[in-house]
Amino acid sequence: MRRVVIVGYGMAGARLADELRRRDQDISITIIGSEPHPAYNRVLLSTVVAGTMTPQSTRLHDEKWAADHNIDLRLGQEIQEIDRQNRTVDGIPYDALVLATGSTPWVPPAEGLLEDGKLAAGVVAFRTLDDCAEIEAKARKGAPVVVLGGGLLGIEAARGLAGRGCLVTVVHPVGHLMERQLDPGAGGVLARTLGQLGIEFRLNSMAAKYLPGDGMILDDGTHVPAELVVVSAGVRAETSLAVKAGLTVDRGIVVDDALRTSDPRIHAIGDCAQHPGTVSGLVQPAWDQAAVLADRLTGTNPASRYRGTSVVTRLKARDVDLAALGDVHTDVDCPDSEVLCFQEPSRGRYAKLVLRDDRVAGAIVLGAPDAAATITQLYDRGIPAPTDRLALLLGRALPAEAASPADLPSSAVICRCNTVSKGQIVSAWRAGAESLPQLAEATRATTGCGGCKDAVCGLLDWLGASQPASA
């Protein structure tokens, strides 16, 4: 029996185990996770901080999952060593080893944030369920809180904390928010929108010194009060085990299109892996990689290769609807692109559309969910954009090809928080999940930001009208 050992029981490792077992009921699977919890959806942690979801509702697997699927699951265990010559990891033999060790928070080099290599009292990272529990315990209503980092996760943490009644200040070293996904115009409108929800910003600023129980001194000498400091300033791939084993490591563990490391018996997926076609810190590439690797390790499709992922980023923050995809930093005067912009800061709306060869190459859509849904669909499917560009930007255009759920391909992603495709929803419906709550339980669709609810309801209506439930 072929033995697969997965190091890491986060979103990547958990999805790989699901994909392996779906393809092969007999392959031996051992998972070693450093956290004591069953796998959970890290994308939803901001909703836990906000108090709108419980930790249990973010779980990807229940307590019985491993036993039900004949999987050797070992929680709360840190791996010490890979013996490549004897093909063992801490004495556990493997035929194929998969590193899904994820990433660790990066802590800015401000004086006092670390004590003896650990976060100081009153400083919490925003990365795990245990971090969320600590934040919840310390985030009192009316208390000043500083969030270090104005990227995607930092903004989600700030919104969640503001929703709990905290007085939040975001400290960000760049001149606008979410600079990886947004241009300066969109970053400005987002800051204004969040400001109306009570969040303050210190842009182009860096933390210089932490004063426990008092706050932060910034690099310009100003003081920002804080009873709690939440660190969300970026992550670094967790590569220590790979480095110790002598694998090729750059920013992450270097892998090829077959997701092999420099040792062909060892693979890497998710945040710890470095592949030229992916962006770190997002879950969609990890789940795409899990499907490819499962194809290969089970022999289901030896030709399967990972060629990269087209990522759509959605901000999961209450009262803010933001989607960013593709090439968002193209300027209006770019000769080979058609770039359109619309902004209405007073109403929290900003839209930028980048077209090449009449197809969506990139977009930022803030405060216009209808436009975001249509543009995302065009981007995912690679079909030509409607000729009325303004109607598209304002959310008033729907491509004729996508007017019905029947026209969507089975692979179309409906719920991005949980990466649920149309095909998975159809399969769940045919298996008896014929209502929205049943579908949510079976697939987790709609249990994230909720932005896909209308699309899922549309699929339900279509299925009920066009297909026999027993088919």
CATH number at residue 170: 3.50.50.60
pLDDT at 278 over 90: no
Q: Is residue 136 part of a domain?
A: yes
pLDDT of 467: 61
How sure is the predictor about 404, in pLDDT bands with cuts at 50, 70 and 90? Answer: low
Q: Which tens digit of pLDDT belongs to each residue from 145-170?
A: 999 999 999 999 999 999 999 999 99
Computed over every residue of the chain, the mean pLDDT equals 90
- Top-confidence residue, 343 or 468: 343
- Top-confidence residue, 256 or 402: 256
pLDDT of 441: 80
Across the range 61-72, mean pLDDT stands at 94
Co-location of 24 and 80 in the same domain: yes
pLDDT at 400 over 50: no
Q: Is residue 302 part of a domain?
A: no
Co-location of 227 and 269 in the same domain: no
How sure is the predictor about 349, in pLDDT bands with cuts at 50, 70 and 90? Answer: very high
CB 373, CB 408: distance < 8 Å:
no
How sure is the predictor about 459, in pLDDT bands with cuts at 50, 70 and 90? Answer: confident
- Top-confidence residue, 34 or 57: 34
Co-location of 267 and 221 in the same domain: no
Q: What percent of the chain has pLDDT over 90?
A: 66
Cα-flanking dihedrals φ and ψ of residue 160, to 5°?
-60, -40
Q: By mean pLDDT, which of 105-119, 201-215, 223-237, 390-404 is the weakest? A: 390-404
C-beta atoms surrounding 61 within 10 Å: 19
Co-location of 161 and 269 in the same domain: no
Co-location of 135 and 188 in the same domain: yes
Q: Is residue 190 part of a domain?
A: yes
Co-location of 429 and 363 in the same domain: no
Q: Which tens digit of pLDDT belongs to each residue from 362-388?
A: 999 999 888 888 898 888 888 899 989
Enclosing domain of residue 132: 114-233
Q: Is residue 405 part of a domain?
A: no
Q: Which tens digit of pLDDT belongs to each residue from 314-336?
A: 887 888 999 999 989 888 778 88
CB 459, CB 440: distance < 8 Å:
no
Q: Is residue 313 part of a domain?
A: no
Q: By mean pLDDT, which of 30-39, 129-138, 327-336 is the weakest? A: 327-336
CA dihedral 433, 439, 441, 447 (to 10 degrees): -170
Co-location of 99 and 241 in the same domain: yes
Q: Is residue 345 part of a domain?
A: yes
Q: What percent of the chain has pLDDT over 70?
A: 96
Q: Which tens digit of pLDDT belongs to each residue from 90-114?
A: 999 999 999 999 999 999 999 999 9
Count Cβ atoms within 10 A of the Cβ of residue 423 and give its class: 0-12 exposed, 13-18 middle, 19 or more buried: middle
pLDDT of 398: 58
427-458 as b/e, with b when 16 or more CB fall inside 10 Å?
Answer: ebbeeebeeeeebbebbbbbbbbebbeebbee
pLDDT at 401 over 70: no
Co-location of 242 and 226 in the same domain: no
Q: Could you give the CA distance from residue 278 to residue 272 in angstroms, rounded to a whole number?
A: 12
Cα-flanking dihedrals φ and ψ of residue 225, to 5°?
-65, 145
pLDDT of 64: 93
Q: Which tens digit of pLDDT belongs to each residue from 178-208?
A: 999 999 999 999 999 999 999 999 999 999 9
Q: Could you give the CA distance from residue 360 to residue 376 in angstroms, rounded to a whole number?
A: 9
Co-location of 197 and 249 in the same domain: no
Co-location of 348 and 431 in the same domain: no
Co-location of 136 and 197 in the same domain: yes
pLDDT of 77: 96
Q: Is residue 287 part of a domain?
A: yes
Q: Could you give the CA distance from residue 400 to residue 369 in angstroms, rounded to a whole number?
A: 19
pLDDT at 469 over 60: no
pLDDT of 406: 67
Q: What's 465's domain CATH number?
A: 1.10.10
Q: Say how many domains are in the chain.
A: 4
Co-location of 434 and 393 in the same domain: no
pLDDT at 471 over 70: no
Q: Is residue 314 part of a domain?
A: no
